[in-house]
A and B are shown apart, each in its own frame.
Chain A
């Protein structure tokens, strides 16, 4: 009898254990060798493949096409009626640095100081930020996370949206952020006079030139003394840019400021430059094209910057830049962690004039090229990282659902806090009455 009780007790404990284990935590990513079959594959760089297979082995794309041999024992995901795209890259976020914008203690994108290029975003990336799963289940797999504020705000980092440490997330690019002296207003709450804005901008430019001169001197001294110049963190951080080894991300938006930035970059002979923001790029598109400097523009879903401009300028900007011959990537920009909307920014660019293929490239292969990681990301090609997603249709269309996401060969759980709240509350139990009859 006692034996029976023990057995029942044990069984109950095992059942409890199993149930509790199943409910204990969010599902983990799964590292799997898997073949995605019968799919329409949008390679981005090599056209569209109908009824094709993508083979994922050891984190990499091992085969793409209609005639891929699948090793025995490989898991198969039948993608009949579905589409495969490379993971989307949002080239302008503060993912991992920002939990809740209004709660200062939860934000890490804005350090004190005007000239602080040595502040590294990657250091402060929180791999468990709630926005990360929210973003990746929509097919945005990779993001440039950017420190803001001051003039030289820090070092931005490209991250893949899966990993338990910043280094596991690091996707191979870091760039120095320069907020080029700005003559625009920052929003409805910016009540500075025109004069104050002008003065602030002039002062900032003088200070930028001063810093740059010092950085050049430091680079010379450093070369002459073979690296024994002493500890100057700001200048040390700028040296790779001075030497043309690292990219300077120049944030600039009004047409006048863009022109000034292009002139500055030329004067200072900065070798690796990307212009970011570029809200009024359309106004000086030919000038930008002539400079050969690429652009990361966005968000697309914005108002025109001036009352007298045509209503759809922000929607059309990326397309107009592309038309003028500028290499254009699109970022989503968001004050509320909505980087999941990146495909809709690209979609609006298409609705208002951009070529669809170009818009897709602007959120995949172009940012990958700009960040020097096109050997790993941005298209579906053999040898690249298995960072891609499967969806039910055109990813720009709002109706389309993303069914699977792979990052570096890891299959992501398709849940986020937002889906969990849906599951819990769609049919809340108890409803209005707690007591059940």
Chain B
């Protein structure tokens, strides 16, 4: 009976997954196809069948009933991937403890956020929706595809994408916890300690379970199992490279510290996020196979980004580090192609290198490079069609396509793209950007800590 029930529920789950994810057929005719991995193809067609790229060639005949987009004079490139974002989420920071791997963004996906549609308008198809940076070990993140229009949060998930988790070094965890709550870490020494402590405890935990699992097979064994801890389960999965670490970091010293921690615990899969001073330890990052996801040019909003340079992405690339350019910002993510273009001014990267920073490289960092990030037969039909070259300031995304379905069409874009209208929302209130704010979006939801009496007392 139990087996039957399991079968019933698993088939239901399978059915619902299949029902949620729309996959389309589409023929894109006669564009300049920027494959990323295999050069540019002039006046070439791309055929998507059942959500996947079926053919890339000249003069493909449209199968019956398949929609055709004329891309003559336009540029056809893979959908842009943002390896660092906080859109489509209802919770960013579980700021109550320096170590919170037990929480996950997959539980708080908000498919109604208008930011999802706006990102499509910037050619984004895949987003790493991340936990914030209040904690040294934060929550698990979710890789989503921008299938805007679905009411079901699960329909946005990129099925089968590797698990990822947010770590954070430096000022954010130290001011949230040391300054805000009066507990370790208050310094970069403390950050190293809490991470090593968590990993060491997880190691003990998984060793205790291995021992128990081995012993319980022995006849006559009477011992009790160790206490179950989801936190330590997740940490153990990190130690076994089943989860990719995405580590918020800025300064060279803390990046180097984290590299050593990974080496000591045998962790191979780590991507440093922001990593403004990554250029200072580029040889070390490259030697350990660590990757870097950076801003194009943000600097000076706080002390740990004071000694930054817009040449960071170029220096990292030239030193052999797999590098991407991310946004961490609902506005900047709308023009990652322009941010990537800045590496041509700051470091003279080629078109191919610059575009890799927002396509195949972030795909590698999220472990999804076999599925997205370039235009190749067999890969998923995630595509953006540009008027003018995507690295030109005059480049404008005209169509954004996910799994062969057109989710954004500039010519047919209506004014109001909200999925639901909140009757409580006061339409007289506009949202403006505070030009003097020093909070990065990684701290969204953790403001309460920074407003606390203790924090303000410590500040004096």
Contacts and interface: CB of A to CB of B under 8 A. Distances in A.
A267 interface: no
A47 B164 CA distance: 55
Interface stretch (B12-20, B94-102, B264-272, B279-287): B279-287
A347 B279 CA distance: 29
A335 B393 contact: no
Interface string A284-319: 000000000000000001111111111110000000
Contact of A348 (B299, B332, B335, B425): B335
A328 to B, nearest CB: 18
* Size class of the B contact interface (CB-based, 8 Å): 35 or more
Decide if the interface of chain B is mainly helix, strand, loop or mixed. Answer: loop
A301 B335 contact: yes
A167 to B, nearest CB: 25
A11 to B, nearest CB: 37
A274 B319 CA distance: 49
B224 interface: no
Given A308-B418, A335-B435, A398-B345, A100 B430 contact: no
A419 B331 contact: no
Given A188-B444, A307-B114, A311-B121, A428 B428 contact: no
A426 B415 CA distance: 46
Contacts of A182: 432
Chain A, interface size category, equals 35 or more
A196 to B, nearest CB: 11
A341 B338 CA distance: 11
A307 B308 CA distance: 34
Contacts of B416: 308-310
Contacts of A131: 300
Given A187-B431, A279-B430, A352-B396, A335 B436 contact: yes
A333 B435 contact: yes
Interface string B93-127: 00000000000000000000010011001000000
B431 A398 contact: no
Given A109-B436, A186-B432, A303-B331, A421 B444 contact: no
A147 to B, nearest CB: 11
Contact of B428 (A183, A307, A336, A401): A183
B393 A347 contact: yes
Interface in B310-359: 310-311, 314-315, 318-319, 330-332, 334-335, 338, 341-342, 344-347
A303 B431 contact: yes
A220 interface: no
Interface string A381-400: 00000000000001011111
A426 B433 contact: no
Contact of A148 (B301, B338, B433, B436): B436
B395 interface: yes
B348 to A, nearest CB: 9
B311 A99 contact: no
25 contacts: A98-B300, A102-B302, A185-B431, A189-B444, A194-B428, A194-B429, A253-B432, A254-B428, A280-B430, A303-B118, A303-B330, A305-B430, A306-B431, A308-B427, A335-B435, A336-B301, A338-B297, A338-B298, A344-B338, A348-B335, A394-B393, A422-B279, A422-B314, A427-B318, A428-B319
